Amino acid sequence: MIRMDTVVNGTRFVGEVEANVWLLDFLRDELGLTGTKRSCDVQVCGSCTVLVDGRPVSSCTFLAHEVDGAVVETIEGIRESDFYQDAESAFVRHAAVQCGFCTPGLVMTLKAIVEDGEGADEAQLRRSLSGNLCRCTGYRSILDAAAEIVRES
């Protein structure tokens, strides 16, 4: 067991975790935060994206104990924010969501882009979102929603 002291969505967690527990499993199984999705388990789909100290990471390949001393944000932690409300509206307005499975990861990645404060043109958005797969929609609607979110944030 490895001792861990971290803040997840504004709440401090102090405890122990097994050395081989992925951050995704810790969030879902230990903390009950199921908004972060499991899909590929190999860091290629982006469904499990969370922010660690403001940086997007694939929680399916990030060991839980590696967030010791860090601040973790999940989709549940931003649901009441203006950013989330604006992102949700943009995704609906641009029909950028169908099944919704990939949406939490996309929104968390976009939050990191917005907080970076550098803005993004379409080419930059394509690069930044290239780690987020969507099997339902065409990417045009996602890129349109993303551009609106970045532009208006």
pLDDT tens-digit map of 92-134 = 999 999 998 899 999 999 999 999 877 678 899 999 999 998 9
Beta bridge partners of 11: 8
Find the domain containing 119 and state its range: 78-152
Let me know whether 13 and 36 are in one domain.
yes
Let me know whether 97 and 65 are in one domain.
no
The tally of domains found in the chain comes to 2
Q: What is the pTM of this model?
A: 0.93
Let me know whether 41 and 68 are in one domain.
yes
Proportion of the chain above pLDDT 90, given as a percent: 82
Let me know whether 89 and 106 are in one domain.
yes
Between β-strands 11-17 and 2-8, what pairing exists: parallel, antiparallel or unpaired? antiparallel
Which of 26, 42, 75 is the last residue in one of the domains? 75
Distance (Å, whole) CA 77 – CA 35:
10
Binned at pLDDT 50, 70 and 90, residue 15 comes out as very high
Q: What pLDDT was estimated at residue 138?
A: 80
Let me know whether 36 and 64 are in one domain.
yes
Decide: helix, strand or coil at residue 142.
helix
